[in-house]
Amino acid sequence: MKPKSNKRVNDVILQTAAVIIFFIIIVFSIHLFFSGHYSPGGGFIGGLMTAAALVLLLLAFDSKTLATVLPFDYRRMTALGALIAVLTAMHSIFFNLPFLTHAYDKFDLPLLGEETLHTAIAFDLGVYLVVIGVTMTIIQTIGESE
């Protein structure tokens, strides 16, 4: 946990592996996120998995490298996620429906064929972003606090 030790040690294996595994985890987390409505998964666990992938990068490199590669402000991401969730929940009131009424329909999409699109996915996207934002905010702040 001593932050300075990472700089001196040569972590070639860890860093190489991390970059490859990062994409595997990210893809897995996106899969979890999208498959949530039909099989285990969803915004929460998907967000945690994405955060785990980012933490892996944090472990292999340092926080400054991560900040240059992925320049996200995670506190804004939290706010954005909460906003998306609230707006999704709110959209129904413009159609004279109760708050948080979801809508869905089947669409014929150009590449994917006939698929069901559901506003719940937007709500889940909010959850996803909040979870990533919060997890990363906590880990980053604690990590940089020394």
First and final C-alpha spacing in the chain: 11
Does 31 interact with other proteins (rule: CB under 8 A)? no
Which token pair is 124? Answer: 């889940």
By CB under 8 A, name the one of 57, 58, 60, 78 that touches other proteins: 78
Q: Are 25 and 56 in contact (CB under 8 A)?
A: yes
Burial 22-43 (b: 16+ CB within 10 A, else e): beebbebbeebbeebeeeebbb
Q: Which of residues 55-74 bind other proteins (CB under 8 A)?
A: none
Least separation in angstroms between CB 126 and other proteins: 7
**Interaction of residue 39 with other proteins, rule CB under 8 A:** yes
Residue from 18, 25, 41, 66 binding other proteins (CB under 8 A): 41
Stretch that binds other proteins, among 3-11, 14-22, 63-71, 132-140 (CB under 8 A): 132-140
